[in-house]
Amino acid sequence: MKHLLLLTCCAPCSPYVIRKLADEYCLTVFFYNPNIHPQQEYKLRLGEICRLCKNLDVKLIEGRYDPERFFELVGPLADTGEGGERCSVCFRMRIEEAFRVAKKIGAEVVATTLTVSPHKKAAQVNAVGRNVAQGEEIAFLEADFKKKDGYRISCELAKEYDFYRQNYCGCTYSKAESERRSDSHKTHRRG
């Protein structure tokens, strides 16, 4: 059985993907999310993924929380919006780190839970992963985990586990965009 390193964004996106991949691979979960802001939010999400991995008896590796690196790379792209170039750069930073860790631990495949979210374009995530994997001895598992009811099942499992569920991707820019959408929705409902 091949060893797969699964880059995870949060606990609600993970149980379905872990269960799906566990039949085919020996799994290690990798939580590397320097994009998550503020640090209190990061700690909440880390606590939930720790709880999930313990429950499923899956090894978890926590990457370094380095928001300065995220802001250095992504800050100039702040206005590109959710799903834009800012996200591609963020995905690349995290997937590259997953490949570095995979080499260290001897994993042969890297995958990510990012594509289970309806807010993430699988084609965009997979293109970044494919690009990072070029010339590597480690494969990138291209997937769209939201397909075949993946997102629905993820939501059901998140309720079953009673996970804290965030209302934004993680970065300060997505949080501001989420708050603007929420404010706009409230204004339209009142008007």
Residue span of the structural domain in which 46 resides: 2-190
> What are 161-188's pLDDT values in tens digits?
999 987 767 777 776 776 776 655 455 4
List Cα–Cα distances, 148 to 42, 116, 143, 153, 155, in angstroms. Answer: 30, 10, 12, 9, 13
Peptide bond into 38 cis (omega under 30): yes
| pLDDT attached to residue 38 | 92
CB contact at 8 A, 3 and 138: no
Query: Mind listing the pLDDT tens digit for each residue in 50-106?
Result: 999 999 999 999 999 999 999 999 888 778 777 789 899 999 999 999 999 999 999
**DSSP bridge pairs for 25:** 2
Place of tokens 């996106």: 13
What the block records as the tokens of 154 is 């993820």
- Could you give the CA distance from residue 89 to residue 91 in angstroms, rounded to a whole number? 5
111-153: pLDDT as tens digits: 999 999 988 999 999 999 999 999 999 999 999 999 999 999 9
Cβ within 8 Å of residue 27, ≥6 positions away: 3, 4, 6, 18, 21, 58, 59
Q: Provide φ and ψ at 31, rounded to 5°.
A: -100, 100
Q: 135 CB contacts (<8 Å, ≥6 apart)?
A: none
Within 20-123, strands assigned E span 25-31, 59-62, 109-112
Check residue 185 and give its pLDDT. Answer: 47
Give residue 186's pLDDT.
55
Q: Distance (Å, rounded) from C-alpha 124 to C-alpha 103?
A: 24
191 has pLDDT over 60: no
DSSP assigned state of 146: T
HSE-CB at 51 with a 13 A cutoff on CA atoms is 14
In the block, residue with structure tokens 């494969």 = 139
Domain holding 153: CATH number? 3.40.50.620
Looking at this protein, which amino acid is placed at residue 34?
P
Number of domains in the chain: 1
Residue-level pLDDT at 182: 64
